[in-house]
Amino acid sequence: MKAFLMFRDRDVDLQQKSLPNEQALVQDLELSTLFNAMSNDDKFLFEIAQKTVMSGLSDIGAIRYRQEILKDCMANPSVVKKIYDIAVESLEKQRKSWGYSSRYPSLVLHGSTAVLHMFLDMLKLLRNVADEQSEKFRSEGFTLLFAMLKKELNDEYFAGLEKHLKQLEFRDGVLISSELGKGNKGTDYMLRKAYRRKQGWIERIFGDKPAVYAFNLHPRDEAGARALSELKDRGINLVANALAQSADHILSFFRMLRTELAFYISCLNLYEQLNKKGEPVSFPLPATADTRHLDCKGLYEVCLALNVKERVVGNEISADGKNIVIITGANQGGKSTFLRSLGVAQLMMQCGMFVPAESFSSSVCCRIFTHYKREEDAAMESGKFDEELGRMSDIVENIVSHSMVLFNESFAATNEREGSEIATQIIRALSEKKITVLFVTHMYEFAHGLYDQKMENALFLRAERQPDGRRTFKIIEGEPLQTSYGEDLYRKIFGTDR
């Protein structure tokens, strides 16, 4: 049995290697806030949320497959949580079972029988959910899951499983056959099905007993009891192994069901928190990587929204045909926040989630990188500028065409002329390799130098500032300005200009 709730044709793989830039992405985009909100203090949900978000999809069909499943989850949260609870309870009960992993066949048989009895009850609960709730779901993933549960877990299956488990309790003893081998040693031990002729209770009590060869062990004959137990283990070994494999098969199904549903449960946790604050979410429209498409309305920074009481400002941009976006403007005007909102939304879209926006559409990226300025650190073995160039070198070694790089105040650790020249050359090289670049900068020479070239593939945005110095935190299209209005911050702190 397969769940197929993450992929249409395969199980999700959680053993894949982490991305070379994963640590930088989590730090620069403040993703720990997102994962904490998704997990709701559940360590397993945190792990699944992080691994899923950080291993995004580039196949549009796969993204839409998950989106449709998530829409079903958002429409039927109580049903999905019930299925998840069944999987979690099954795994917890199996963990507490004993004898299941023993090396003795008799204990394996006993433990496997007990586990299968428990699994039988849990599978019946799943089947009941499929019977009662399947009509409420529309996605291909849930439709396939419920159809599989109805087909595989039919009444005949349950009746047959109960019958076999009852027989394997061996309430009337164990019938084993064997042959004599060399030295009159027993070989080819085989468990046999005992023949029982139906008898009335009078015949069972007073009827003639069949002639048998039998012997009785003395109650203190430990060696004889041990030898008899070994003979029994030889006879039931194959059956015990087969039963353990059956239990493992059902166990693996519950594990995968829990793992794949955990992603959707974590999405529901995030949705409930954003919905409670009145923040909008929408399902994005992914576009192919070669289209250079980016369009959004009401896009906000989800991690900021989770940390403040009031609603956050959303932004609207259209960057179709552009793979270079330069963002300039007033200090503390929302440039870095806007950059994070784009990066987080891209990650959320490519793992099949909703995004924090009224609408969002973007080309899929093969990989996403961040290059943010770092504060001075005593652990640095070289200067800040050398450290920036070293991180840029690491990005170049791992980047591929149709990737996205988010720069935030990069190459500002040296003088403006040198930093502008390096930034310009890097952007041109990345653009030629069909890589999307979003760059927040205060370097006027760099930003305006690109603006003067009238590049068709470049979009220039600016943090809006009102004439009185007030920040709206809106990002608008506009020419780079020579000032970042640092005097506004001075007036805010000291009250007057000096």
What angle, 0 to 180 degrees and rounded to 10, lies between the N-to-C axes of helices 43-54 and 335-350? Answer: 90
- Residue 359's pLDDT is 97
Q: Where are the alpha helices (DSSP H) in 55-104?
A: 60-75, 77-95
Q: Quick one: pLDDT band at residue 74, thresholds 50, 70, 90?
A: very high
Cβ atoms of 31 and 51 within 8 Å: the answer is: no
Q: Quick one: pLDDT band at residue 199, thresholds 50, 70, 90?
A: low
Cβ atoms of 325 and 439 within 8 Å: the answer is: yes
- Residue 210's pLDDT is 63
Residue 172: φ, ψ to 5°:
-105, 20
What distances in angstroms separate CA 174 from CA 15, 31, 105, 179, 345, one per listed residue?
43, 59, 13, 17, 63
- Between CA 274 and CA 356 the distance in angstroms is 9
pLDDT averaged over every residue in the chain: 87
Rg (CA), the chain: 33
- Give 450: exposed, middle or buried? Use CB within 10 Å, 0-12, 13-18, 19+: buried
Cβ atoms of 202 and 221 within 8 Å: the answer is: no
pLDDT greater than 80 at residue 32: yes
Tell me which DSSP letter residue 17 carries: P
- Between CA 279 and CA 304 the distance in angstroms is 12
Instruction: Specify the amino acid at residue 497.
Output: D
Output the pTM of the full model: 0.86
Provide the residue count of the chain: 498
- Between CA 358 and CA 303 the distance in angstroms is 16
Give the dihedral sign, CA 51/53/57/61. Answer: positive
pLDDT greater than 80 at residue 452: yes
Helices and strands, number each (H, E), in the chain: 16, 12
Q: Quick one: pLDDT band at residue 239, thresholds 50, 70, 90?
A: confident
Instruction: Specify the amino acid at residue 424.
Output: T
pLDDT greater than 60 at residue 324: yes
Tell me which DSSP letter residue 314 carries: P
Tell me which DSSP letter residue 210 carries: P
Q: Which residue has the tokens 């007990």?
A: 114
Residues forming a β-bridge with 315: 299
Q: Is 15 left (phi over 0), alpha (psi -120 to 50) or beta?
A: alpha
- Between CA 431 and CA 402 the distance in angstroms is 10
DSSP sequence for 304-324: HHHH-SSPPPPEEEE-TT-SE
- Residue 84's pLDDT is 98
- Between CA 323 and CA 458 the distance in angstroms is 6
pLDDT greater than 70 at residue 211: no
- Between CA 481 and CA 327 the distance in angstroms is 11
For the record, the structure tokens of 446 come out as 């760099």
pLDDT greater than 80 at residue 360: yes
Which three-class secondary structure state does DSSP give residue 326? strand
pLDDT greater than 90 at residue 485: no
pLDDT greater than 80 at residue 75: yes
Which three-class secondary structure state does DSSP give residue 383? coil
H or E element that contains 371:
strand 368-372
- Residue 490's pLDDT is 53
- Between CA 163 and CA 388 the distance in angstroms is 69
Which candidate, 191, 284, 172, places its Cα nearest to that of 234? Answer: 191
pLDDT greater than 90 at residue 114: no
Residue 362: φ, ψ to 5°:
-155, 155
Instruction: Specify the amino acid at residue 241.
Output: N
- According to DSSP, the β-strands at 175-180 and 186-192 are antiparallel
- Between CA 31 and CA 443 the distance in angstroms is 27
- Residue 297's pLDDT is 97
Q: How many CA atoms lie within 13 A of 476 on its CB side?
A: 11
- Residue 222's pLDDT is 78
Q: In what order do the strands lie in the sheet with 315-318?
A: 285-287, 359-363, 294-299, 315-318
pLDDT greater than 70 at residue 101: no
> What does the H/E/C string look like for 387-447?
HHHHHHHHHHHHCCCCCEEEEECCCCCCCHHHHHHHHHHHHHHHHHCCCEEEEECCCHHHH
H or E element that contains 473:
strand 471-477
